[in-house]
A and B are shown apart, each in its own frame.
Chain A
Amino acid sequence: MESLLYLDGVTVSFDGFKALNGLSLVLQPGEMRAVIGPNGAGKTTMMDVITGKTRPQSGTVLFDGGTDLTKLRENDIATLGIGRKFQRPTVFEHLSVWDNLELALKAPRGPFSTLMWKAAAEHRARINEILAVIRLGDRRDRLAGGLSHGEKQWLEIGMLLAQEPRLLLVDEPVAGMTDAETEQTAALLRDVAETRSVVVVEHDMHFVRALGVKVTCLHEGSVLAEGSLDSVSANQQVIDVYLGR
């Protein structure tokens, strides 16, 4: 089967410090993967490379079999179908919840098409659908800046759904969430993963367990161990550098 995302020998160094060191990772279509590892292991840098924010010094990054992501700009990569959720929720605070979703909605992205754009019935229906999923229906006309931390996280997930990406990169989605919110988020991500591939970076081991997917542990910019959560957490090296501390 053709892989959706293919990273091979990816190296990124900042002033001599190797944030990624020959990292290799393969993701199948429809697969969900949890990425764990200590601080500075290169988790966020890996996402930066995939989304075009950082250019690797060497290595291959291919999407959907053949597209070389290292040659593309952020917005082009996003329109290919790669969505990203940041660690800190970033929603557009001076726009309403509805407008945030409208901007994310899959539609032409050029300035002249947005200038003339009018939300059709199908667009409104889709936004209402997402509002129901993320439970912000009664907040639709509020400014996003006035939402609580958890609500912002959900709005951002809603924006990712509106984008209809084929690959979703999620950076620490449950940081700062209550236990109940964490569980809801895990359920939501599992739903999402039924129709697309998802990479989740997370520190919260309860959450990773709740996801119940294949786990990759990074350390010093490369893969330390890969497999089920049980086999990875039984790995002596993983215990030494990450879990045991």
Chain B
Amino acid sequence: MRMVLPGGLDRSKLVLPILLLAAAVYVPVAVLLIPEGSPFALSVHSAGLFGKYLCYALLALALDLVWGYCGILSLGHGAFFALGGYAMGMYLMRQIGPRGVYGHPVLPDFMVFLNWQELPWYWYGFNHFPFAALMVLLVPGLLAFAFGWFAFRSRVTGVYLSIITQALTFALLLAFFRNDMGFGGNNGLTDFKEILGFELQAPGTRAALFAATALALALCYLLAAWVVSSKAGKVMTALRDAESRVRFLGYDVERYKLFAWTLSAMMAGLAGALYVPQVGIINPGEFAPAASIEAVIWVAVGGRGTLTGAVIGAVMVNFGKSWFTSAMPEFWLFALGGLFVLVTLYLPRGVLGLVSDLWSRAESHRRRRPDDVPQASP
């Protein structure tokens, strides 16, 4: 019998949040307090890089919730990530205030450049952080809810659903490229100065952003783990495997999908919002279909339907990407494609599946031959 925490959570689900919590404490200390040159010190640059990986990990976690548990393969989750990012970017733009290149008291530089006379209505309120934070969750959430409402009610499933998620992110890509959308066109939003009054480039701010990302990932992970271990999570697993059977048991399958889908989109939006201040820019490139497909690969590599695997996969693949793109940039896409093929063919349950297979094999091996193992003398 495994230890079970209140709310039905397995105790093993605490390992990752505890590690993240430790990282949230260690990284700021290593960046700010440990003197440079010590093997335990971290540069501001690495803190930013790890922070970025954790944002990707949160996106992967969100994707695993719908793909791994409900069987909805989204090839457009980057859209929710980017929308969350744009909401945060709009706040950061308005924080610049009159310090832009053109020195306009209200309008961001790109609007002045386009000869706009006043702020579009949908930019109102973004000068307040709480409003922007709300929009980070609300905009992706509402879009996902509306999209899911129509798609799931019409019983669009499988490849067809994947294709329309791809179309969704592509449509947004094209829309955000247009200058008259009012989101900075193909340059996007950048040249941010401050967040909540703290200078964005200051080491303290960067360290705090990393800590916030680690905390957000830990909390979302716990939330997702709680959802999938509840009876609702079992309904999701069941509908992934035999959707019509779940209907005949009396469950409204569409409502379950819509719930998971909307929750997942909000998590993706949060990931995007944490990503933008750390990389300092958001542009329509984040809507690119390839970006969403890459997120699917992270989940597949780590191990679909495990939550932990999604986080591990996202960090591993992006670590590899950072190394590859500096060592031999022209080969990265081949490596990524090859990785996906290899994982699909030989590791259908991802890295996590491989580890747990090896573990259980070692276990049974040990149990089968207890006498052969030399006893350690006390």
Contact = CB atoms under 8 A, between A and B. Distances in A.
Report whether chain A binds chain B: yes
Interface of A: 51, 53, 73-76, 78-79, 83-84, 86, 90-95, 99, 102-104, 109-112, 114-118, 159, 163
Interface of B: 8, 227, 230-232, 234-235, 237-238, 240-242, 244-253, 255-256, 259
Contact of B245 (A76, A86, A109): A86
Contacts of B253: 75
A117 B259 CA distance: 16
Contact of A103 (B227, B244, B249, B255): B249
A92 B241 contact: yes
Contacts of B8: 118
A78 B250 contact: yes
A109 B251 contact: yes
A79 B250 contact: yes
Nearest to A106: B250
Main secondary structure of the interface of B (DSSP, over half): helix
Nearest to B230: A115
Contacts of B231: 102-103, 114-115, 117
Cβ-closest 9 pairs across A and B:
A78-B250, A74-B247, A114-B232, A114-B231, A79-B250, A92-B238, A115-B232, A117-B231, A90-B245
Given A103-B235, A111-B256, 14 more contacts: A75-B251, A91-B242, A92-B234, A95-B237, A95-B238, A103-B231, A104-B249, A109-B252, A110-B255, A111-B235, A111-B255, A114-B230, A116-B230, A159-B249
Given A74-B244, A92-B242, A92-B245, A111 B232 contact: yes
Contacts of B235: 103, 111, 114
Contacts of A118: 8
Contact of A163 (B242, B244, B249, B256): B249
A26 B179 CA distance: 67
A104 B248 CA distance: 10
A94 B227 CA distance: 17
Nearest to B260: A111
B248 A51 contact: yes
B257 to A, nearest CB: 9
Contacts of B246: 103
Given A95-B237, A103-B235, A111-B256, A75 B247 contact: yes
Contact of A78 (B227, B230, B234, B247): B247
Contacts of A78: 247-250
28 contacts: A53-B244, A75-B253, A78-B247, A78-B248, A78-B250, A79-B250, A90-B242, A92-B237, A92-B241, A92-B242, A94-B237, A94-B240, A95-B237, A99-B234, A102-B234, A103-B231, A103-B235, A103-B238, A104-B249, A109-B250, A111-B235, A112-B232, A114-B235, A115-B227, A115-B232, A116-B230, A117-B230, A159-B249
Contacts, number: 77
Nearest to B8: A118
Contacts of B247: 73-75, 78
Contacts of A92: 234, 237-238, 241-242, 245
B66 to A, nearest CB: 14
* Residue in A83, A93, A94, A111 whose Cβ sees the most chain B Cβ within 10 Å: A111
A81 to B, nearest CB: 9
A118 B231 CA distance: 8
Contacts of A109: 250-252
Nearest to B239: A92
A84 B84 CA distance: 44
Contacts of A111: 232, 235, 255-256, 259
B33 to A, nearest CB: 42
A108 to B, nearest CB: 10
Nearest to B245: A90
A91 B246 CA distance: 10
Contacts of B256: 111
Contacts of A159: 249
A245 to B, nearest CB: 32
Nearest to A93: B241
A4 B259 CA distance: 35
Nearest to A163: B249
Nearest to B247: A74
A117 B232 CA distance: 8
Contact of B234 (A76, A103, A116): A103
A217 to B, nearest CB: 26
Nearest to B253: A75
A110 B230 CA distance: 13
Nearest to B242: A90
Could you say which of A75, A84, A86 has the most chain B C-beta atoms within 10 Å of its C-beta?
Answer: A75
A76 B248 CA distance: 9
B348 to A, nearest CB: 14
A161 to B, nearest CB: 13
B144 to A, nearest CB: 15
B252 A110 contact: yes
B67 to A, nearest CB: 15
A163 B235 CA distance: 15
B248 A83 contact: yes
A91 B245 CA distance: 8
Nearest to B259: A111
A90 to B, nearest CB: 5
B3 to A, nearest CB: 16
Contacts of A79: 250
A163 B246 CA distance: 12
